Amino acid sequence: LQATMFRCSARCCEDSAASMQQVQRCIERCHAPLAQAQAIVTGELERFQDRLSRCTLHCSDRAKDALEAGGGEARARSQLDACVAACGDEHLRLLPGMVKRMRDGLGALQ
């Protein structure tokens, strides 16, 4: 995509009959697919990171609650570790779907 964008932009600049504004609009059109691709990937990664953060925050809240209830620091730490590991496992299972959505979205741009 990036190579295509650069070649397209170069063709815009080679049009000696075009005004400066026309060249700029042409270059912006060339950049649009790459910007869309970046938005697709960034959006998926942000959603994944947000979900993982919420899961680990929930684990932290549960560990704090256990600690405040008198469960002991070692037990709260163990509970936190197990919960965070479960979050990681759960989110690893989400990766194939995320990759598919990115591939589908990127494929639609071409």
Q: How many domains does the chain have?
A: 1
d(C-alpha 57, C-alpha 88), whole Å:
13
Using pLDDT thresholds of 50, 70 and 90, give the confidence band for residue 1: confident
The CA dihedral of 49, 53, 55, 61, to the nearest 10 degrees, is 180
Claim: this prediction has a pTM higher than 0.95: no
**pLDDT on residue 110:** 66
d(C-alpha 16, C-alpha 59), whole Å:
62
Boundaries of domain holding 63: 1-108
Q: Which helix (H) or strand (E) holds 46?
A: helix 20-68
**pLDDT on residue 93:** 96
Model confidence over 55-110: pLDDT tens digits? 999 999 999 998 888 878 888 899 999 999 999 999 999 999 999 999 999 999 86
Instruction: Tell me the three state secondary structure of residue 36.
Output: helix
